[in-house]
Amino acid sequence: MLDKKQRHLEKLYDELCSENATEPVILPADLTQLNAENIGALVDGLEQDFGRLDALIHNAAELGTLAPLNQYDLQQWSTVMQVNLHAPYLLTRALLPLLQNAKNGRILFTTADSATQANAFWGAYAIAYAGVQAQMSLWHEELENTTNLYFNCINPGAVRTAMRRLSHPGEVAEESPAPTEIMPAYLQALSTIDSTYRGKILLI
């Protein structure tokens, strides 16, 4: 499990261990600093401990600024692109051999309505997720016939998160599902043995 805040990882680690789940491996990692060089430690650690990777879920997101494109802060632009688009590419590319060691490795990209409904002022966020969906499709098209990998995007829709409160401050939060309520859809996507799922964008 990767997260930039170690306390979040430790809390989830303790929760999983208290439920007698498999002991997880946690790695504090700031995706804004991820690059082709420092990702090697992650790959080496997983290979030594497990030898394979059954699934990879890309769920980290950066909202950025809601602003006109011609006034968009360039540092914010780079951060959104790095976290939402570039980091998933680097992780997928680096972990691909371990995913291929699994029987039906799964790579699940999280996407958003903005990828196909680009409303004004959503700037880097909308463009990054359009790129995420294109990236998933490219991985699928290039590896469909030579591997058993499942590449998918999943669009969770409105979810009761801190980022949603920032992007939609006028909403009644309780009208959106909590993250735990949408987990069955993720588990379904990660466990279904159905080749027709491959390369699809899944909506919750």
CA 60 – CA 191 distance, rounded (Å):
21
Lookup: tokens for 121: 């002022």
pLDDT in tens, 48-96: 888 999 999 999 999 999 999 999 999 999 999 999 999 999 999 999 9
Residue 63 has, within 13 A of its CA and on its CB side, a CA count of 12
Tokens of 160: 């009761």
Beta strands in 13-52 (DSSP E): 27-28
Question: Domain map of the chain by residue range?
Answer: 51-203
Q: Which CATH superfamily is domain 51-203 in?
A: NAD(P)-binding Rossmann-like Domain (3.40.50.720)
Catalytic residues: 125
Distances (CA, A) of 177 to 84, 123, 129: 22, 26, 21
Tens of pLDDT, residue by residue over 105-139, are: 999 999 999 999 989 999 999 999 999 999 999 99
- Nearest Cα neighbor of 35 from 98, 96, 91 is 91
